[in-house]
Amino acid sequence: MATGLRDGLYWACWLLAALFTGLVAGLMLGHALILAPFLSWMLANGSPGTLDHTYPVFRATAGALGLTAYYLLAGVQVAMALGFLVAAVAMRRHRAAAAVAGAASVCWVIVHYASGFGAVEAQLWRSPAGGADGVARRFLAWNTPIHFLHAGILTVALLALLSVPLLSLRRLSGGPPR
């Protein structure tokens, strides 16, 4: 394959990975700052039945499109970061930065489910009123912190991706290779 075409594909993969990682990191930070505390407040302090009469209905109606779009963006983000990792390895360029971005992009999803929070969240959304106090307590304890953790992990991925053009410029200007 011609070098110009290979370079173009490499930078297209980088751009898509950086774009989607930035979008999902921003969405996750917004969730951690606004939605997670609001849902926790509704569960802990709202009138009895507030959460079970509002949020599941919202998720099934007006919120369904937004939630589907978020899951799609998150899936594309992981795929693009891994795609850039493949491109970086194939081109033998910026493999460390691409590995950090790829690992972080998979890590936040693994943390969500391996921690058990994904199951707690799903159980609460299926049956907020029927969820045992233990489910509600675990949700309240983890909801905001885990979303901040996800935002932090995604920020690490984004910073690794944003370092790639800087490293390329440094290499082109004759600086020491990294």
pLDDT class for 174, splitting at 50, 70, 90?
low
Q: Is the pLDDT of residue 131 over 70?
A: no
Q: Is the backbone of residue 92 left (phi > 0), alpha (psi -120 to 50) or beta?
A: left
Q: Is the pLDDT of residue 176 over 90?
A: no
- Cα separation, 175 vs 102, in Å, equals 26
Most confident of 5-9, 26-30, 53-57, 63-67: 26-30
Q: Is the pLDDT of residue 94 over 60?
A: yes
Over residues 110-133, the mean pLDDT reads: 82
* pLDDT tens string 36-59: 999 899 888 878 778 777 877 888
pLDDT of residue 28: 97
Q: What is the DSSP string of 46-106?
A: SPTTHHHHHHHHHHHTHHHHHHHHHHHHHHHHHHHHHHHHHHHHHHTSSHHHHHHHHHHHH
pLDDT of residue 16: 98
